Structure 1
Amino acid sequence: MDKVGGAQKHVEELAVKLKQDAHEVTIVTGLYDASLWRLQEEKIDVISIPAMKRAIHLSKDLQALWQLRAALKIIKPDVIAAHSSKAGAIGRLVGSFLRIPTVFTAHSWSFTEGVPPKKKLMYRQLEKAVQPLTIKIITVSEYDRKLALTKGIAPAHKLMTIHNGIAQLADQHAPKYDSLDSPLIMMVARFEVPKRQDALLAALMELPEVPWRIQFIGDGSLRPDLEKYVTDKGFADRVTFLGNQSKVTELLAQAQLFVLLSDWEGLPIAIIEAMRAGLPIIATNVGGVSELITDNDNGFIIDREDKELLKQRLRQLLTDAALRQKMGDASERRFLRNFTFSPMYQKTLNVYEQAVSKLSKKGD
């Protein structure tokens, strides 16, 4: 949790609500940057295990496993909620050792379409190996549930789709200033694989005659090269890199269009935030994106490599304020109908409670 991403936001929101509902919550993570999260102010305990890295590294992984085992022996949790591929595997192994029921949430399978073939094969084998140690697997999209079934990762009774959900806003956001003079595009994503800020910039730079401005929220290792690229191409006056931001909601309220290009996804919380803000959306047709966006309704879906269609859709929305308004309204309605926090939270809590109950019955 040293970077902001959808899975991390999901964990934070769940943890805060669980704590507010009088559950005891401890988050165990790899690297941790407290300034990015409100866990400290909510008095939620966080244990950082720096040996827990994203990439597979045998000696560090064994070290992380041992340190996690030591931490959980002290915490003595009723249930482990494991998130992301690496932490998910280590968490389930330790849960099995200590006889603690474990629920795994797959935010996007590491063997999904778009992932390099070697990595895809390795993670598919890993998921099959640790599946027997899992009480229940939550997928954040129906796409990912079906993918797990197709690849033989787990039997159907172990898999359950619970779509991501986020809090409704207490106050309606202020009406967005919308003008054909310079519509503001927003993309919220870390500057790492599989996000494609580079593809969006390349498309926009081929539309110099179309009025547009863009703000990127997020940080990561790919950001410096893209900042240099923008300056070298002479577009620094149109492109702003804002870095990590705590007030994403307020910034989205100023935008007229949201774009998220990725090589693979689960069910992006960034798109759900854009829907809540009443924005039309352009996104690549990966993972569960089509469960959020209906093409030609609340936005446009494009194939990963279709550069011409991307430019066409950008031009269409950047030059048609009425279409932006129509699609933005559809986004907000869709969010309120299907992607609010409360139903997601209640379904997730039910899974945790059933996992505890199931192991208790086995013990009897």
Structure 2
Amino acid sequence: MAQVRSRILQLCQKGDHLLAYAALSGSPYDAENHPGLWELLARQCEAAGAGDLARRAREALLSAGTLHGGQALAHTAYLIEIGDFVSATTLIEAQFGTDPQDETARIIYGKALLGTDPAKGLRLLEGLETDDLILSLRIVDALRQNSRFQAAARRLADLAERHPGEARIATRQARVQEQQGGWAEAIQSWLKIVDEIPSQRVPGLLKVAFLQKRFENTENATESAAELLTLENPTRSASELAAQIELLDMLGQERAMLAAMHRLARESAHGTVSPALWEQIAASQVDAGRIGLVDWMAKLGLPIGVTAHALLEAARDYLPDLGRAARDIHAAAQIKSPEILLPAFKAMAPERARPVSGLGNILLVNATLAAGGAERQFVMLIRALLKSGLPADRISVALFSTAEERGHAHFLSELTALGVRIHDLDAISDTPTLRPEVQQVLALLPARIRADLLPLITLCQSERPMAIHGWQDRSSVAAGLAGLLTDIPRIVMSARNMEPAKRADPNLPMLRGLYRTLCAMPQVTLTVNSEAGARGYEDWLDLGHNQAKVIHNAIDGAAFPLLPQANDAQSAPLRILGVFRFAANKRPELWLRTIAALRAKSSRPIQARLVGSGPFLDRIIELRNELGLHDIEIAQSLSRPDEIYCEADVLLLMSRVEGTPNVVIEAQCSGLAVAACDVGGVREALHDDGLALPAEIGPDMAADQILDWLDTRALSNPEVRRAAILGKYDMASLAMLTLGLYGVVEAEGEEPDA
């Protein structure tokens, strides 16, 4: 053995590491019985830069079960480098346990965990001071993944000081701003990146256009898109063309997108487009549900990848003539999921709804508990169910996110106090057990729908509820599909929004076919919270009249006491309140300009206050100051009704689109008079003395109509206004009608302790 050791050292000193490896491999000294020789070889190869040979020596030790100490750490680092975090985690835990005391082992273990259990990895690494930029960025990414955006922003600010001009830092800073809802700030950061970092100009403009579109700033989004599409670059890369395809798709410019894709396909014939890029494009089309376009690419012989080919084969089970149907790129673009899967879902529906005992559990599903009217009503429904006598241990709540720093936990403490079980679907990583045909259907669904379904199905298999109830469009479709695929006897889908055909939601067309298919099933009921909303959904989904069941919102009178009445004296200020999400569909600019017009026209002093949050906050503050309305208070974190509706005489709501606006109901219950644009279910929610403004109105006309209305003593009779609201929107009716849909016999009970 000594001779072999000397031979290895001699060959390594001469630089003949491959011969050294061959000499040891051909000797009788295997890694199981003589690990020291193999460790020696690994160290010599690593020191000389022969990393591949060092890795092969370590793999021999690993296979023999004799890889220990420094070599185990070295091999773990290699596994992390190639992205095999599972093997890396397994190896280091086998060597050092789950709480390594060795500092180097602890750091490497933390790196491995960032890829398998980011939360645990962060606990090991977050306080680490390191000059390793790659590791620092991975820590930032883990913080973002765990919705800890403030900590990520602080770490990025520190990194930016130490690494000025580093694109990976700047782009992450912009993404963190976006994730925190600071869209205007994120747009400015991306514009700065476009100006200062040439390599990021194309992706930067793409992000700017995307955020402007989300901001519903269509004019600026189009300008950014035009700049990106006309960039003067004679050597435009294939990846830039791919970015154009993504941009045009996002802007809804399908014909232009298809033309760009066709051009890229022609360029591929000249070898300028890498197979990896085509795989990326194919994967994005699969995720968007565009099965036909993927088939078109495959027929051209483009390298779409093994996964895309397998999905195409699966799609032929649902559309056997897929190849003929996708005869050209335009015809191919019309072949989409989930539409091709609708017959399969129809075939899964039972002939009739199964009877229920009335004694099972209920699973309610919503996206988040953000500060919104629909979310407040979600909690109100649970309160009503508990008050009716349904025990808390029979109610489970599933939420797609409860991330506090995303604003998704506004009502979480209130819901927690009710004692029901709460499940964060984002924290469920277990894969559900599914029949092969169901697995195939899920694989063909668009990525957004599939991502919602998998954790929800896992929860349904664990909870086995007798009824599942989805709240708002996204959650309703997910709950409907999960209920169908796990054979839940009763499915309720509650649409909270108004006039889907008019909403600027790019996901609604994708949901329409699923909604309609589910509504035709005997175990499914669609509910809407206003007559106008029901008719809107029936028209959108081509349903029969009265197929959508109206269940009004509810209000807890004890939580919304009658507030002090207004002072009618002309010298007393008129206090106007706005309560809404700071988003385009609420028209905050129209609200502010109407306040400015009221101040210009009214002989009475006008005070105004805003309550809400959202992506338009920066623009609201900017416009407030431009209009000289500096005194308008903007409160962002209020949840108690007495804090929201106090010190106000009138609620003013000027939304472009509404369902049944909770703020209108709540304000009137508190005694306030309400003026609101006549959209959606607003007129149904208004008391007789309320003002329904035209849906399309300018600030001057709105101010004139509001002042005329106020002259008719609109502020009088708050007690009558409150009584009418409590009579129409009572908790007992909400509970009784909902329990009937679940198959639960109504029971009387007391208000739960909160």
Shorter-chain TM-score tier: 0.7 to 0.9
**Cα distance, 1:157 vs structure 2:** 6.3
**Cα distance, 1:126 vs structure 2:** 4.1
**Cα distance, 1:195 vs structure 2:** 1.3
| Aligned-partner residue type, residue 350 of structure 1 | G
Instruction: Determine whether 1:232 maps to 2:626.
Output: yes
Check whether the contact 1:279–1:329 (CA below 8 A) recurs between aligned residues: no
| Aligned-partner residue type, residue 472 of structure 2 | S
- Choose the corresponding residue for 1:7, options 374, 395, 407: 374
Deviations 1:343-364 (A, max 9, x none): 2222222222269xxxxxxxxx
Partner of 2:111: none
Deviations 1:185-244 (A, max 9, x none): 11221112421222111111123333211111111111121012112322111x111113
Instruction: Determine whether 1:43 maps to 2:419.
Output: yes
| Aligned-partner residue type, residue 99 of structure 1 | D
For 2:497 and 2:374, locate their aligned partners in 1 and report how far apart those are by CA, in whole Å. 9
Aligned residue runs from structure 1 range 1-364, under 5 A: 1-19=368-386, 21=389, 22-23=391-392, 24-32=394-402, 33=404, 34-37=409-412, 38-50=414-426, 58-100=446-488, 101-109=490-498, 111-112=500-501, 114-116=502-504, 121-133=509-521, 135-156=524-545, 158-169=547-558, 172-178=561-567, 179-180=569-570, 181-209=572-600, 210=602, 211-237=605-631, 239-293=632-686, 297-307=688-698, 308-317=700-709, 320=711, 322-326=713-717, 328-353=718-743
Instruction: Say which SS state the counterpart of residue 520 (structure 2) adopts.
Output: helix
Check whether the contact 1:267–1:288 (CA below 8 A) recurs between aligned residues: yes
For 2:559 and 2:505, locate their aligned partners in 1 and report how far apart those are by CA, in whole Å. 45
Check whether the contact 2:689–2:714 (CA below 8 A) recurs between aligned residues: no
For 2:579 and 2:517, locate their aligned partners in 1 and report how far apart those are by CA, in whole Å. 34
Partner of 1:361: none
Deviations 1:284-341 (A, max 9, x none): 11111111225xx3211112222243111232356x4833214x45532321331222
For 1:334 and 1:289, locate their aligned partners in 2 and report how far apart those are by CA, in whole Å. 15
| Aligned-partner residue type, residue 376 of structure 2 | K
Partner of 2:175: none
Instruction: Say which SS state the counterpart of residue 169 (structure 1) adopts.
Output: helix
Instruction: Say which SS state the counterpart of residue 647 (structure 2) adopts.
Output: coil
**Cα distance, 1:175 vs structure 2:** 2.2
Instruction: Say which SS state the counterpart of residue 77 (structure 1) adopts.
Output: coil
Check whether the contact 1:39–1:45 (CA below 8 A) recurs between aligned residues: no
Partner of 1:359: none
Q: How high is the TM-score relative to the length of structure 1?
A: 0.85
CA 204–173 in structure 1, closer or farther in 2 if over 3 Å, else same: same
Deviations 1:135-192 (A, max 9, x none): 2111100112222333444344642111111112279534234254321111221112
**Cα distance, 1:257 vs structure 2:** 0.3
**Cα distance, 1:103 vs structure 2:** 0.5
CA 171–257 in structure 1, closer or farther in 2 if over 3 Å, else same: closer
CA 126–98 in structure 1, closer or farther in 2 if over 3 Å, else same: closer
Check whether the contact 1:219–1:243 (CA below 8 A) recurs between aligned residues: yes
Deviations 1:25-60 (A, max 9, x none): 1111122244533112222222223499xxxx9324
Check whether the contact 1:183–1:212 (CA below 8 A) recurs between aligned residues: yes
Deviations 1:232-270 (A, max 9, x none): 322111x11111312123431421001111111111111
Q: Which has the higher contact order (CA 8 A, sep 6+)?
A: 1
| Aligned-partner residue type, residue 48 of structure 1 | D
* Structure 2: runs of 5 or more not aligned: 1-367, 429-444, 746-754
Instruction: Say which SS state the counterpart of residue 206 (structure 1) adopts.
Output: helix
CA 207–236 in structure 1, closer or farther in 2 if over 3 Å, else same: same
Q: How high is the TM-score relative to the length of structure 2?
A: 0.43
For 1:109 and 1:172, locate their aligned partners in 2 and report how far apart those are by CA, in whole Å. 28
**Cα distance, 1:271 vs structure 2:** 0.7
Deviations 1:111-136 (A, max 9, x none): 24x32497665554442233234521
For 1:126 and 1:137, locate their aligned partners in 2 and report how far apart those are by CA, in whole Å. 13
Partner of 2:246: none
For 2:560 and 2:548, locate their aligned partners in 1 and report how far apart those are by CA, in whole Å. 36
Instruction: Say which SS state the counterpart of residue 740 (structure 2) adopts.
Output: helix
Instruction: Say which SS state the counterpart of residue 675 (structure 2) adopts.
Output: strand
**Cα distance, 1:82 vs structure 2:** 0.6
Deviations 1:51-87 (A, max 9, x none): 99xxxx9324312211111111111111001111111
For 1:184 and 1:13, locate their aligned partners in 2 and report how far apart those are by CA, in whole Å. 28
Partner of 2:336: none
For 1:128 and 1:43, locate their aligned partners in 2 and report how far apart those are by CA, in whole Å. 35
CA 42–215 in structure 1, closer or farther in 2 if over 3 Å, else same: same
CA RMSD of aligned residues (A): 2.7
Check whether the contact 2:373–2:661 (CA below 8 A) recurs between aligned residues: yes
More helix by share: 2
Check whether the contact 2:397–2:422 (CA below 8 A) recurs between aligned residues: yes
| Aligned-partner residue type, residue 89 of structure 1 | V
Check whether the contact 2:560–2:669 (CA below 8 A) recurs between aligned residues: no
CA 66–124 in structure 1, closer or farther in 2 if over 3 Å, else same: closer
Q: How many residues align?
A: 345
CA 118–174 in structure 1, closer or farther in 2 if over 3 Å, else same: closer
For 1:303 and 1:8, locate their aligned partners in 2 and report how far apart those are by CA, in whole Å. 27
| Aligned-partner residue type, residue 696 of structure 2 | E
For 2:421 and 2:621, locate their aligned partners in 1 and report how far apart those are by CA, in whole Å. 37
Check whether the contact 1:25–1:45 (CA below 8 A) recurs between aligned residues: yes
Instruction: Say which SS state the counterpart of residue 46 (structure 1) adopts.
Output: strand
* Structure 1: runs of 5 or more not aligned: 356-364
For 1:139 and 1:286, locate their aligned partners in 2 and report how far apart those are by CA, in whole Å. 15
For 2:642 and 2:669, locate their aligned partners in 1 and report how far apart those are by CA, in whole Å. 9
**Cα distance, 1:283 vs structure 2:** 0.8
| Aligned-partner residue type, residue 254 of structure 1 | E
Instruction: Say which SS state the counterpart of residue 557 (structure 2) adopts.
Output: coil
For 1:175 and 1:117, locate their aligned partners in 2 and report how far apart those are by CA, in whole Å. 40
